[in-house]
Every structure is written in C-alpha cells, then in structure tokens.
Structure 1
Amino acid sequence: MSENNPNILALDFDGVICDGLIEYFETAWRTYCQVWSPTNLTPPEDLAARFYHLRPVIEVGWEMPVLLRALLVGIPEEKIWQDWVAIAQQILVGEGLKATDMGAKLDSIRDEWIASNLAEWLSLHRFYPGVVERLQQIIASPVQLYIITTKEGRFVRQLLQEQNIAMSEGSIFGKEYRRPKSQLLIELIEASAESPAIWFVEDRLKTLQGVKNQPELNEVRLYLADWGYNTQAQHESIRYDKRIQLLSLSQFAEDFSVWP
C-alpha cells in the first residue's frame, strides 16, 4: 500500500457507520420503564430531543437509561455536559443499581425486541449516506476492514447483513471482547506480519485521545468523524492537533488519497 492508503481501516460503528439514535431512545425508554416503573409509560414529549442532544456524553449502552433518569429528575443539561461520568455514578450508587445489571437488562430488552419484531427494530436505524457503498468498495479492495465498537457484535452483524454487507469472521470487535479500543488496535498490529498502516475512524474524541496517548499506537492515523455523536466545540478543539484529523462524511466516501 502507498502512504495514501491504509493496510487496515478500523471503524467505530455507532456514529460512524450507523445512526441508531431513534432505536437508542426507544430501547433506553423501555429499560427505564422496567427499572423505575413510571406511572406514565409514554415518555414526556421533549425527552427524545433532549436525549438526542446529549448523546455525545454516552460511552456505553447502560448509560442510556441512566441519562433519561438524570433528565427526568431535573439535572440540568449544562451540568450533564460538564460532569456526566460522576453524575451517572451518583445515580447508580444513590439508587442501588449496578452498571452490569443495567447493561444486561438493556441488551435483554433489545434481544427480545429483535426476536419478536426484527423488521421494526431494523427500521429504526439509519446508515449514513454513502457509507454502505463505501464499505462495499473497501471490502472488495486489498484493505482489511475491521469494526471496533462498544455495541454487541451480534447486533452489528445483524444490521450489516440487512444492508448486504458481509464482514469476514473475526473482523467485528464488539462489547463482548471486553477490552479498550486502544488495546484492540495494538492486537491488530501484533497480529500483522509487517508493520501495517492503520487508520482509525471514531466519533468519540475521548477514545481517540486515549489511542493518541498509547506509545505503541504512534503510527496509527486518527480521524474524528464530524457527522457522528460529537460537538462543534470538539471539532474546534482539535483544529491544531497534529494527530487527530477531522473527517467529513463526504471525505469518507471518497478515495483514501483525498482524506486529510
């Protein structure tokens, strides 16, 4: 491969390949209802819009119903932006809950939904414009494609299959791998016969900063997907960053030679 092309392209899923905001909210609300048993099972009219707006603070699925709890008990959005990790932990501890239990409940609700009405569940996901076609081009090329995500791998595979995207065995690293994305990237390097040119596209700036701080990953080219679950302030914060490049959806759909 030339320096204008990667040997390995690693992509996040949610916020890079697929927009699942509508499904996230619905699954989070169903989970919320099971955990907190509200008297009204219909969510407040503005709750979904507020949840969508705050989606960039969420890192792992169990946090989604906890975010709804934070909003419904009146924690200001500004405070959530500033200190979400501490707020989420305070809610768990204060209400005697565990993140693992919350995550298992959310996954179980999603599994039941898929089993009972797969078409409905699939219909609530939107692949970003041009992404499906670009993935198919990459799969047909010499570039090795991997997906590294905090979503359960089986859900990712289900959504890709619906778009006729066939990923090879072992190319999807989901939540079940229980390792940070930086560690999985290190393992990809270690598994390669030569020093591969790895490019990593992610919509969570904190994740990219974690990769940037790993000396073993100094040669990995890092991209923040500006169409994902991040903010304009985060885009501005990396304007002069020498490692993390801002990538637009139109650039993603183009040949690697035109990427920043």
Structure 2
Amino acid sequence: MDVSAASSTSTLFALDFDGVVCDSVGESSLSAWKHGVELWPELFECERANEKKDEVLDKLRAVRPVVETGYENTILARALLENLDGYDVESILKDWPILSETLMQKWQLDRKTMVLEFGKIRDDWIRTDFKSWLQPNALYEDVPEALRFCTERRDAKVTIVTTKQARFADAILVDMGGVKIPEEDLISTTVSGEPKADVLVRLEETFNKDGASRMIFVEDKLSTLIKVANDKRLSKWDLFFVDWGYNTEDERQVAKHDYRMKLIGKEEFCGLLREG
C-alpha cells in the first residue's frame, strides 16, 4: 500500500463489489450451473435439468442476498434443482448459514476446494469466450462514472473489499466501466474467508494513522454491516447500506432504523464518491 497516499487522503472509501458496484448475479448463476455440470453431471446434464434450468436460475436471483462467496451459488443450484425439502426460497433466505453447512457435510464438500474450482470455471469461461462471460455482468447505472471521478481525486482513496476473486472484479471494472483500481486496493477475502472487519482495521491503520480522514464503508449485505457496526475497533467508520443490490425490504427497514448505519440510494452514493 502506498504510504505517501495515506498522508494526503481526507476520505477513505471501502466498497463492496457485488451488489454495490456490480450486478453480477446473472454471471454467478451461470457459473454455478457450469460448476454443477462438472461436479454432478448425472444431475445437471439430464433432460430434467435442462427443463428446469431457467427456473433454477430465476430462483438463484431470488436467494442471492444470502450468498457470501461465489461457490455457494453451486450448492444452492443443486438444492433448488433437486427441490430438497426445507430448501425453498423463503427457507433459504431465513436460514442459509445453517442449511449451507448441512449440505457441505452431506455432499462432502471442502470450502477451499470449492472456491478454487469455482474460480477455475470462471477462468475457463473467460479464456474461451471473454465477451460472453462479461455479458451477464452489469455495472450499476452512474456508478462507473462516479468511481472514475473518485479515483482521480487527490484527496480520496478508493478500495474494493470483496468476497469475489480480485482478478474477476478487475476484469469487469476495466472492460465494462473503464475503471482501474490498483491491484493492492482490490482486496479479496475469498480464499481466506477473512472477515471484512479485519480488513477495515488494517485499512484504518495504514491510511488514517493521524485520525484526520473520513472513513466510509459501503455494503449491500446487512449481516456484514451489522458485524462491522458491532466491532468496537471500527467505531470511527461511517457505515452505509445501499437500497439496491442483494438485500430484502425487511433488511432495508432494519438499516433505516439502525443508528450506526445509514440507508442510501444510488444518487447519494455517487454523490459521496464525488464529494464525500
């Protein structure tokens, strides 16, 4: 990290990627289906699977708010394809952490292996047909322009803190938005599973040693933001919960009434990047 940048930074941004900057559910769902074909061809390559594919992809969008890391989409795809008892959309939205662990054990899956395999699915897709991989991704309207403006500000520092593997976020930002974030500022917690709270602590130590900068964390996942809000080490961060992305109306209402965070729309978010 550039220490010289720390001395001139008056605002430090830490932004989630999927659901804040990028609507990637189309691509992650299709990657999950490809991953399913590789892991369980007897389930995903049969006639019944082909008939249910569109239905499963639709449901994957509906349950997207629960996904922390890409490979979870693969587990969800199989559960939805098989119509497993207790794995309807409502149950998944309510109890996914418990349900996910149950399936990982039932199907004898390893988290690190799943992460690597899911990344390989994307790498292979990108290598063979980059344009078709990009197509199901979309940067939210007006966000790329605001991000480009912010990266050119001399008084601001933009970091991306994401569970997505950094090379995929970089490809989307550059090719779809013309936005270049330095490699060291694209921080992925995918393989390590490191809490975002720990990443924010390190960012504060690096870029706000004198305590003079404003620090802004923007997230679309309420459970993540609550953990950060309750972490005493991060009391100086301004926390924002977006009203788009992968969250529910109930979650937006919780954020709206939580004194520690603020619910914002896209216009206000872009304003923060330009002037915050």
Q: Distance in 2 between matches of 1:175 and 1:42?
A: 33
Q: 1:96-145 deviations in whole A, cap 9, x for unaligned?
A: 22222222211111000111111111122110000000001111112100
Which sections of structure 1, spanning at least 5 residues, go unmatched? none
Could you say which residue in structure 2 is the equivalent of 1:112? Answer: 124
Q: Distance in 1 between matches of 2:253 and 2:115?
A: 33
Q: 1:13-24 alignment to 2 at 5 Å?
A: 13-24=17-28
Using the TM superposition, give the Cα deviation of residue 240 of structure 1 relative to its aligned residue in structure 2, in angstroms: 2.0
Q: 1:112-151 alignment to 2 at 5 Å?
A: 112-141=124-153, 142-151=155-164
Work out whether residues 24 and 64 of structure 1, in 8 Å CA contact, stay in contact via their aligned partners in 2: yes
Q: 2:238 aligned to 196, 204, 221, which one?
A: 221
Q: 1:94-109 alignment to 2 at 5 Å?
A: 94-109=106-121
RMSD: 1.9
Could you say which residue in structure 1 is the equivalent of 2:34? Answer: 30
Using the TM superposition, give the Cα deviation of residue 26 of structure 1 relative to its aligned residue in structure 2, in angstroms: 0.5
Which sections of structure 2, spanning at least 5 residues, go unmatched? 1-8
Work out whether residues 226 and 246 of structure 1, in 8 Å CA contact, stay in contact via their aligned partners in 2: yes
SS in 2 for 1:151: coil
SS in 1 for 2:50: coil
Tell me which protein shows more helix as a share of its residues: 2
Letter in 2 for 1:24: S
1:91 to 2:103 alignment: yes
SS in 2 for 1:234: helix
Moved over 3 A (4+): 255-259
Using the TM superposition, give the Cα deviation of residue 42 of structure 1 relative to its aligned residue in structure 2, in angstroms: 2.6
Could you say which residue in structure 2 is the equivalent of 1:237? Answer: 254
Could you say which residue in structure 2 is the equivalent of 1:71? Answer: 80
Q: Distance in 2 between matches of 1:117 and 1:257?
A: 35
Q: 1:174 aligned to 184, 188, 191, which one?
A: 188
Q: More displaced, 102-111 or 176-185?
A: 176-185
Using the TM superposition, give the Cα deviation of residue 213 of structure 1 relative to its aligned residue in structure 2, in angstroms: 1.4
Q: 1:190-218 deviations in whole A, cap 9, x for unaligned?
A: 11332132100000011111111111100
If the length of structure 2 is used for normalisation, what is the TM-score?
A: 0.87
Could you say which residue in structure 1 is the equivalent of 2:202? Answer: 187
Letter in 2 for 1:249: K
Letter in 2 for 1:194: D
Q: Distance in 2 between matches of 1:233 and 1:217?
A: 25
Work out whether residues 222 and 255 of structure 2, in 8 Å CA contact, stay in contact via their aligned partners in 1: no
Q: Distance in 1 between matches of 2:37 and 2:245?
A: 28
Q: More displaced, 95-104 or 59-68?
A: 95-104
Using the TM superposition, give the Cα deviation of residue 257 of structure 1 relative to its aligned residue in structure 2, in angstroms: 9.1
Work out whether residues 151 and 158 of structure 2, in 8 Å CA contact, stay in contact via their aligned partners in 1: yes
Between the two proteins, what is the percent identity of the paired residues? 29
If the length of structure 1 is used for normalisation, what is the TM-score?
A: 0.92
1:161 to 2:186 alignment: no
Q: More displaced, 150-159 or 168-177?
A: 168-177
In structure 2, relative to structure 1, the CA distance for the partners of 1:119 and 1:81 (3 Å cut) is same
Q: More displaced, 227-236 or 74-83?
A: 74-83
Q: Distance in 1 between matches of 2:142 and 2:134?
A: 18
Q: 1:70-118 deviations in whole A, cap 9, x for unaligned?
A: 2123222222122111111111111222222222211111000111111
Work out whether residues 148 and 173 of structure 1, in 8 Å CA contact, stay in contact via their aligned partners in 2: yes
Using the TM superposition, give the Cα deviation of residue 50 of structure 1 relative to its aligned residue in structure 2, in angstroms: 0.9
Using the TM superposition, give the Cα deviation of residue 168 of structure 1 relative to its aligned residue in structure 2, in angstroms: 2.5
Q: Distance in 2 between matches of 1:77 and 1:225?
A: 22
How many residues end up aligned between the 2 structures?
Answer: 255
Could you say which residue in structure 1 is the equivalent of 2:61? Answer: 52
